[in-house]
Amino acid sequence: MRVAQVDNRAVLIREDQYLDIEKTSQGRFRSDLGRIYDKWTELREWASGLKWSNSVSLGSGVAFSSPAPHPGQVFAIGLNYKDHAREMGMVLPEIPTTFTKFPSCLTGDRAHVKLPSSNVDWEVELVVVMGIKCHEVSSDKAWDYVAGLSIGQDLSERVVQVKAGGQFSLGKSFPGFGPIGPCLVTPDELADPNDLALKTKINGEVVQDSRTSQMIFSVAEIISKLSEVVTLNPGDVIFTGTPSGVGMSFNPPRYLSPGDIITSEIEGIGVLTTFCV
């Protein structure tokens, strides 16, 4: 199943068609996807028996806002790919390095993001959205609590990020620094949700190119480790870390400029586009 927010309304997507969830369900589910994660199991059952007779064509000009519109918690994992830890000159972590992106930084597909300085870097990441509340979940059960996967950019102001003594969150939370989209894909849609190609292109040039199977802590291990401490709720977001190829690792470092177009791709999910202004 694929869901998204089109014109700020929750929709189901199948190929090039979509269905408005609130209208089709005659109000059983809300129009706001952020309020639907509480009823995730119910939504999946309802959607599986649905007839698509009243679907609408997506068309090319559709605006996808974030499929995780107002999460209660946003987790981000640093240094979760061996090659990225190496390029940052860091030792491999024994537990996931966890920070937050404050939710006000979240945005959707085709967002125009204002660069606050000339030190803003890209980080393509697989984004997990939780579907069922959990605490102290083992890694072999962790996928059962996931609603789906999306694409994210963990945009990072590198000077602010390191200035705060290892507390990354502020440097990663300027307005627009958390694009997520274009849609949310349930894990069963993907041949292997643990091994997806992911890429960043800047103005068409490939700068990051890896696979999620290269993670140090897998999606299931991240969920299990986080849930040892916190309760994860429906709609919560986890940015799962970025592979090598960030601008900071270039010699000299290469950061984003106004006019740059970031395309973030993950196999089986789609393409997330971000415009730097």
Contact between 88 and 248 under an 8 Å Cβ cutoff? The reply is yes
- Site membership for Zn ion, residue 55 (CB under 5 A): no
Query: Taking the alpha carbons of 192, 182, 235, 112 in that order, is the dihedral positive or negative?
Result: positive
- Interface with Zn ion includes 242 (CB under 5 A)? yes
Q: Is the dihedral of CA 101, 104, 106, 110 positive or negative?
A: negative
Which two structure tokens, joined as six digits, stand for 220? 């299931």
Cβ at position 178, least distance to Zn ion in Å:
10
DSSP state of 197: E
Listed ranges 59-67, 121-129, 143-151, 195-203: which one lies at the site for Zn ion (CB under 5 A)? 121-129
- Total chain residues near Zn ion (CB under 5 A): 3
Is residue 109 involved in binding Zn ion (CB under 5 A)?
Answer: no
C-beta of 242: minimal distance to Zn ion in Å? Answer: 5
Stretch binding Zn ion (CB under 5 A), from 50-58, 185-193, 235-243, 264-272: 235-243
* Residue 154 touches Zn ion, criterion: CB under 5 A: yes
Residues 65-104, mask of contacts with Zn ion (x by CB under 5 A): ----------------------------------------
Output the six-digit token pair for 139.
């890694």
User: Residue 206 has which token pair?
Assistant: 């490939």
Nearer to Zn ion, 33 or 126 (CB): 126
123 touching Zn ion, by CB under 5 A: yes
CA–CA separation, 99 and 194 (whole Å)? 22
The answer to whether 129 touches 146, Cβ cutoff 8 Å, is yes
